[in-house]
Amino acid sequence: MALYFLKRLLLSVLVVILVVIALFLLTYAIPGDPARVALGPRANPELIAEFRARMGLDQSLATQLYNFFVSLLQGDLGRDAISGEPVLNTVLSQFPDTLYLVLGSVLVALVPGVILGILSARYRGGIIDRISSVLSVSVMSVPAFVIAIYLLLVFSIQLGWFPAIGAGTGFWDRLHRLVLPSLALGLAWIGYIARILRASILEEMNEGHVRTARAFGLSENRIMYDYVLRIAVLPMITVLGIGIGQMLSSAVFAEVVFGRPGIGKLVYDAIISRNYPIVTGTVLVTTIFFVVVNLGADLLVAWLNPKVRHDLSR
């Protein structure tokens, strides 16, 4: 298990390095001068040259990449091309809001998704299964930003139950403002979770150990919760790991529509203004988060699944 962990960890580090290199190449390939965007129309050639020198933009791509990794090892992600503030501070100030949003969305997706998945499998072909199936497909097919706008119009403008914009201050205010964005991002995932769990439960129901449990006369509830679900949730955990990455990238819609701060909006604005240090820093932090979540999901699956655990220990 330790060796498995080490291998996965090294692979994760490699992924992060490759992502940063790819990002550097991509951002510098797109047209647009960060100095001109940052300094505005009154920038003169001397000022542009000074800006480029200050940001290291006058150096070759390879030198910039090397300097970035050297700084990274010292915990320095550079400085915001426009405000001059440390990138790490800016990214870390935005990250919690996106993290809360993603966690809220996971909660929105997970609780109803698991309940619907179990009920659909348990009452396969019944009315709950059919309703769940129709609902899942409908919600999955609507883009998150459309859901977001309708949620805003109904619950903020018409009913006035929830604030429309901002992340709030203090626990309850933050929670209050998290409800609609979390719903907007998480709703589509209810269907995924429910369908995956349903399929997985049904597959597991036909396994030999479940038939044996039935033969021993165990109750259906006990079989479901003690024997079937423990294995059936494993594919869901893997999908959820990938889903968190998907939610991170979709967060930009929720952040723009709900006027929330966050990583998505930060990187979107930074791309528009060619603020490369912020783009690189944000993507780096997001990639590390995504890789860590997936590493955690894989390790959890390995730990929960006796078969994988057994294979790894051999």
Residues interacting with another protein, by CB under 8 A? Answer: 30-33, 36-44, 46-47, 50, 82-85, 89-90, 93-94, 97, 152-153, 156-157, 160, 163-167, 256-259, 261, 265-266, 269, 271-274
Q: Give the residue with the Cβ less far from another protein, 50 or 76.
A: 50
* Distance of alpha carbon 66 from alpha carbon 259, whole angstroms: 36
Q: Give the residue with the Cβ less far from another protein, 117 or 163.
A: 163
Q: Give the residue with the Cβ less far from another protein, 205 or 254.
A: 254
Residue 42 Cβ, how far from another protein at the closest point, in Å?
A: 4
Q: Give the residue with the Cβ less far from another protein, 71 or 273.
A: 273
Q: Give the residue with the Cβ less far from another protein, 164 or 237.
A: 164
Q: Which of 199, 171, 195, 47 is nearest to 112 (CA)?
A: 195
Residues 241/190, Cβ–Cβ less than 8 Å: no
Q: What's the CA dihedral at 15, 67, 263, 300 to 10 degrees?
A: 30
**What Cα–Cα distance (Å) separates residue 146 from each residue in 142, 192, 234?**
7, 18, 31
SS3 for 57-113 is: CCCCHHHHHHHHHHHHHCCCCCECCCCCCEHHHHHHHHHHHHHHHHHHHHHHHHHHH
Cα distance from N-terminal residue to C-terminal residue, the chain: 10
- Measure the CA angle with vertex 95, ends 93 and 97; round to 5°: 95
Residue 70 Cβ, how far from another protein at the closest point, in Å?
A: 24
Query: What phi and psi, each to the nearest 5 degrees, are found at residue 233?
Result: -75, -15
Q: Give the residue with the Cβ less far from another protein, 48 or 312.
A: 48
Q: Which of 256, 244, 250 is nearest to 289 (CA)?
A: 244
Q: Give the residue with the Cβ less far from another protein, 119 or 271.
A: 271
Residue 176 Cβ, how far from another protein at the closest point, in Å?
A: 12
Of all residues in the chain, what percent are helix, strand and coil, respectively (each to 5)? 80, 0, 20
Q: Give the residue with the Cβ less far from another protein, 60 or 169.
A: 169
Residue 61 Cβ, how far from another protein at the closest point, in Å?
A: 17
Residue 97 Cβ, how far from another protein at the closest point, in Å?
A: 8
Place of tokens 């609609």: 180
Residue 71 Cβ, how far from another protein at the closest point, in Å?
A: 20
For residue 163, the number of C-alpha atoms closer than 13 Å in the C-beta half-sphere is 15
Residue 16 Cβ, how far from another protein at the closest point, in Å?
A: 24
Residue 184 Cβ, how far from another protein at the closest point, in Å?
A: 13
